[in-house]
Structure formats: C-alpha cells, structure tokens
C-alpha cells in the first residue's frame, strides 16, 4: 500500500510532467505567443530551481552525508554527487542530436504559417516524434528529482513541481507544432505532447522501485545532491537560454530574481 506521502509525491510528479499538455493547448487555442510572459515565467522557473537547489537541497544532502561519513568525507561526497548530477543530465543532453532537441524555440504563430505549406510532411512527423522522445528522456530524471524532493519535504516538492511544470509548457509546444504540421490532426499532436510528459511520473516510479529498498541516509544524501546538480544544469542550460530567446534579456533576469525571492520567502515561512 502506498502511504499518503508517496501518493502526494507521485501526484506532484504527474502534475509537473503532464503540463506539456498545457503547451499543446496554448498552441492550438491562441493566435500569438505571449513572449514576454513566457520569458518571465521561464526565468522565474530557473530562479526557483537554482535557489532551492543551492540553498536548500544541497545543504540537506550535505547534512545527511556529513552525519553518516564525517565532515571531510561527507562534504567531498556531497560536492561529487552535485557535479555527478550535472554530468548525468549533460550526458543525456549530449546523446540527443541538436536537431531533435526539445528546447528549440517554437512559436504558436508557426502553427498556421507552416501547416498550410507542409501538411502531411513525413520529415516533420519524424522530427515531432524525436522531440517527444527527447523530452521523455529529459523528463525521466526530472521526475525522480521532483519525487525525491516531495517525499523529503512536501513544501519543497510543490515549489519544484511548479517550476518544472512551467518549463514543460514550451516543451509541449515543441512536440505538438511539428506533429500538427505533419498530420493536420490537433488531437494526435496534443496526445503525443501530453504523453511525452508521462516520463516524469514513470521516472519517479522506476526510481522508487529501484532505490527505495536500498534507501539509507548516505544514499539519500547522494541522490539529493545529484538532484540539486540536475536542476541547476537544467536552469542554466535550458531555461535561461529559452527565456532569453522568447523575450528581452532583462525580462528573463527579472523573472529569475523574482523566482529566487519567492522561493526565499516561502522557505522562511516554514522555519
């Protein structure tokens, strides 16, 4: 039987992953891309993830590892795990060809412009499918990160789930737009986009099945520090560049600072 804490963690992970469907809905039911809003929102998401990773998650991992291994060894293992998380997500990124990378910017306006010219284009269908696969691969460790954080600290899990949900919205657009170009079928484009987000709860579930039987304070510390590294890398490599592409440079920075401030205040409220 799943405990309430486990169900809550899986529910948050499901919410974060399936927000790719929101991107599809925006692509189909709006005529223009609100670039300023997306720029601020993506910057906000990056701010939340960077702040919570560096200020909260990293030090919780360090406390756990230091308690088990001593100050020097525990500190070194924390740092190694943090950069190991970065290396892990960087390798996933490297294995995905840049052409199919899900973080290529898409605009809602492209829906009408290209659908007329490239209807039923097999190449676009292939690109959309690869994009969906690429997003699923990226979302797998993100799901584990959200789940681990929610299981450890529900308030932390909510913040991370919201941040990841925001960053999944443009990914939903990136899947649905080329598939719609290729098929002319909004329903099919929506479902591929929606289902690509399922990798997050799947990642959480598989991570739970594999890791939880062996869970100890040391393994928790290593996993949590790795989660911090994954989220910082995603913020720097994906969210901030996307935020700058969608809008003005300063808007993404304002969003970043706002995200950090909101996260800081929310953490202080739970002291």
Q: For residue range 129-149, what is the model confidence (pLDDT) as tens digits?
A: 766 777 777 777 778 778 888
Mean pLDDT of the chain: 78
Higher pLDDT, 223 or 141: 223
Rounded CA-CA distance 34/21 in Å is 17
Q: Give the mean model confidence (pLDDT) for residues 92-105.
A: 58
Give 247's DSSP letter.
Answer: S
Per-residue pLDDT at 118: 46
% of the chain residues with pLDDT over 90: 13
Per-residue pLDDT at 76: 97
> pLDDT tens digits, residue range 14-64?
888 888 888 777 766 655 556 677 778 778 888 888 988 898 889 989 998
Residue 76 CB contacts under 8 Å (≥ 6 apart), including other chains: none
Residue 101: pLDDT over 70: no
Per-residue pLDDT at 153: 80
Rounded CA-CA distance 129/189 in Å is 10
Give the model's confidence band at 71: pLDDT under 50 very low, under 70 low, under 90 confident, else very high: very high
Q: Judge whether 263 and 81 are in contact, CB under 8 Å.
A: no
Per-residue pLDDT at 119: 45
Per-residue pLDDT at 120: 46
Q: Give the mean model confidence (pLDDT) for residues 243-268.
A: 80
Q: Give the mean model confidence (pLDDT) for residues 240-261.
A: 80
Residue count of the chain, please give it: 271
> pLDDT tens digits, residue range 149-186?
888 788 888 888 888 888 777 777 777 777 777 777 77
Q: Judge whether 40 and 251 are in contact, CB under 8 Å.
A: yes
Give 248's DSSP letter.
Answer: -
Rounded CA-CA distance 65/222 in Å is 8
Per-residue pLDDT at 116: 46
């Amino acid at each position: 039987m799943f405990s309430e804490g486990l169900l809550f963690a899986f529910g948050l992970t499901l919410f974060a992953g399936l927000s790719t469907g929101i991107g599809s809905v925006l692509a189909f039911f709006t005529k223009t891309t609100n670039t300023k809003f997306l720029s601020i929102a993506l910057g906000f998401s990056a701010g939340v993830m960077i702040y919570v990773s560096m200020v909260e998650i990293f030090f919780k991992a360090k406390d756990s590892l230091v308690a088990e291994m001593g100050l020097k060894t525990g500190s070194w293992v924390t740092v190694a795990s943090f950069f190991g998380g970065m290396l892990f997500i960087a390798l996933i990124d490297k294995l995905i060809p840049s052409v199919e990378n899900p973080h290529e910017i898409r605009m809602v306006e492209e829906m009408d412009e290209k659908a007329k010219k490239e209807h039923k284009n097999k190449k676009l269908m292939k690109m959309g499918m690869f994009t969906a696969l690429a997003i699923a691969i990226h979302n797998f460790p993100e799901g584990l990160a959200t789940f681990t954080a929610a299981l450890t600290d529900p308030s932390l899990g909510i913040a991370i789930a919201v941040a990841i949900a925001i960053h999944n919205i443009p990914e939903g657009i990136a899947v649905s737009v080329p598939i719609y170009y290729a098929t002319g079928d909004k329903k099919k484009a929506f479902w591929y986009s929606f289902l690509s987000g399922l990798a997050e709860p799947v990642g959480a579930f598989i991570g739970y099945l594999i890791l939880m039987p062996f869970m100890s304070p040391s393994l928790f510390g290593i996993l949590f520090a790795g989660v911090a590294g994954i989220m910082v890398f995603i913020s720097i490599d994906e969210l901030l560049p996307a935020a700058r592409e969608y809008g003005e440079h300063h808007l993404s920075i304002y969003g970043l600072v706002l995200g950090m401030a909101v996260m800081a205040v929310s953490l202080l409220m739970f002291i």
